[in-house]
Each structure stands twice: as structure tokens, then as C-alpha cells.
Chain A
Amino acid sequence: MEIASVVGQIQSYTILAVALLIALPAIGAALGFGMLGGKFLEGVARQPELAPMLMMRMFIMAGLLDAFVAISVAIGLMIYFSENKVLVAAINILRTPTGV
């Protein structure tokens, strides 16, 4: 009985952690891209002849912003799809009777 409740807890916290890792950077990235695009449009509105150069710079910045999202999502997915060491350790501890 104890094993089932502990396993349930660890699994639920793992899934929550993965979900947070995937969702929270998306908020930051969305805000960042929005501001970036807004400034780009303002700049192009002021000086339309600079549009190609500004667009290239904007894509460079977008790639830099994308980095943190990509790293977090990759780590979250790696945690989700690989073997859960915390879970295995907990199960091993619970299986050996220690007289508690």
C-alpha cells in the first residue's frame, strides 16, 4: 500500500515538473517575440529602406530567444522519456524491509 502511494506521488510530481519545464519558457518566449516584432515594425515604419537589414537582425534575435525554450523543452522531454531514477531508488528503498 505504501509503495503505491509513494510511487503515485513521485510520478505525479515528475509529470508536473515536466509540464512546468515545457510551459513556462513558452510564456517568456511569447512575450519576448512579441516585443521583438513590435520594435521591428516600429523601426521599419520609421525607416522603410532599412527593412531587409532589420529583418535579418530580427531573425538573429529570434534564434537567440528560441535557445532557452529549446533547451528547457529538450530537458523536459528527456526527463519524461527516460527512466526515472528517483522512482527506481524509492522503489528499491521501499522493497527492502528495514523494520520501520
Chain B
Amino acid sequence: MSDSALTTEKYIEHHLSHLSFNLQTMSFGEGGGFWTLHVDTLLTSIVLGIILFGGLRLIATRMQAVPGFMQSIAELLIEFVGNTVYEIFHKKNKFVSSLALTIFLWVFAMNALDLLPLDLFPRLLELFGMHKFKLVPTTDPNATFGISMSVFFLIIFFNIKVKRGHLFKELLSFPFGIYAFPVNIIFRVIEECVKPLTLSLRLFGNMFAGELIFILIAIMPWWVQWPPGAIWAIFHIFVITLQAFLFMMLTIIYLGMAHENH
């Protein structure tokens, strides 16, 4: 182990804390409570988004009849997401397909940052003066709740837009019949509120646990590190892909449920 318990704790604490910007005092540092921005999460997610979707846009404007390498990969992805949406919606839906592609690529890229060596980015950025930087945005519950809250508002929006007046009748009469309407409303409210909660906490829990085990592996002496690190990294690759795919799949399913009647 390390020299003293204090150093181990401080290492873990250093790796678990974000670069925060206090909006109440307009300065870097903790203590804002609700009014704190996690600058590292914001920066990483926005930069990743620009790289990914700017790259896709670039591929689209340079489209050729005989596709090159990047165009083939983009076509594979788009076809995969399109088929998945078609299975649930049974017709083509441009908005949901673009949303699903965005969520899948973005969440996958943010998760995949977890595979980089743990101390690489924080040490690199210490050269530029930033002393705390937590690299992976999806280990911040703010990021995952941000995505799932947007999906939640989209679910409500599509429910109202597609079903209009029929929505009120559906609220009251599903699943127990119209005379049990208080129970129906309670069930429906709980079901709708659980959706964004589980979406975000599932992603956050998987990524946080994975990152914490990487931190614990990093504390072991260097000659023992490679076997558990390799095994956990391989399992983590699987978990990353599965969680991103699952987020996309559940978004499509929830939006599908908002478009159709039960």
C-alpha cells in the first residue's frame, strides 16, 4: 500500500472531486451547493460533442458514390440505428433516429474516456494549472441527469403532441378501468417519473463503480497492477458499449410508447 492511510484517502478523494465553479461567488472552488458548475464535465462533453458531430457533418458533406472508410462506418451506424427505430416505430421517424444516434455516439464516447490511464489527463492538465480534473463526464450524475431530463421532457412533449385529448382519457383509464382513476393516475405518474431516474442512475452507477475500481487498482503496487487492471478493462469495454446501447434503446422505446396507444 502507500505510505500512510491519509495519502491513499487523499488520492481517492482527489480523483473523485470535480473542478467546480461557484456561481454564488463567481470563482473556482467548492461550496456553491446547487449553484455550482462542474467545469470539467461541461468542457469534456461539449468538446467531445463538437468532435463527434462535427466529424459526422464533415463526412456527410464529402459524401461520394463509392464510400471511403469513414463514410462506411458512418453508414453502418446510421443504418443500425435506423433499423432499430424502424422495429419499434414501424415507420421512418427522422427526429427519433437522429436523437438515438446522438445519444448512442455521445454516451459511448463519454464512457470510452474511462479506458484512458487514470492519472494521464489530471497530470497533463496540472502542467496548465488546473489542479482537479475528473475526465469522464458520465461519472458525474449531473451529466447523466441532464441527458435523461431532456429525454423526459421530450416524452412529455410527444405525449401531448401526438395523443392530444386522448391522453387525458388514457391517464384515467389505464390499466384498471375508468372508475379506478386515482390509482391509475398514481401509477402513471410513478411510471413516468421512474423513467428518467432509472435511465440516468443506471448509467451513472455503472460508470462510477467502474471508475472507482480503476482507482482502487491504481493504488495497488505497480507489479500487481497489470492482471486485475487488464481483466477489469476488458469487462469495462463490454459494460461501456452495453450501457450506451441500452440508453439509446430505452430512449427509442419510451418515445415509441409516447407516440402510440397502449
Task: Point out the residues of chain B lying under 8 angstroms from A71, CB to CB.
Answer: 201-202, 205
Chain A residue nearest to B247 in the complex (CB):
A63
* Given A60-B246, A71-B201, A66:B212 Cβ within 8 A: no
Task: Point out the residues of chain B lying under 8 angstroms from A77, CB to CB.
Answer: 208-209, 212
| B interface, over-half SS | helix
Query: Does the CB pair A63–B246 fall under 8 Å?
Result: yes
**Is there a chain B Cβ closer than 8 Å to A10's Cβ?**
no
A49, chain B: closest CB distance, angstroms: 17
How far is A46 from B198 in the complex, measured between Cα atoms in Å? 33
Query: Does the CB pair A81–B12 fall under 8 Å?
Result: yes
B82, chain A: closest CB distance, angstroms: 15
Most buried by B among A60, A62, A69, A74: A74
Query: Does the CB pair A74–B205 fall under 8 Å?
Result: yes
Most buried by B among A62, A66, A70, A72: A70
**Is there a chain B Cβ closer than 8 Å to A59's Cβ?**
yes
How far is A60 from B87 in the complex, measured between Cα atoms in Å? 14
How far is A72 from B205 in the complex, measured between Cα atoms in Å? 8
* Given A70-B202, A71-B201, A71-B202, A63:B242 Cβ within 8 A: yes
- Chain B interface (Cβ < 8 Å from any Cβ of A): 12-13, 16, 198, 201-202, 204-206, 208-209, 212, 242-243, 245-246, 249
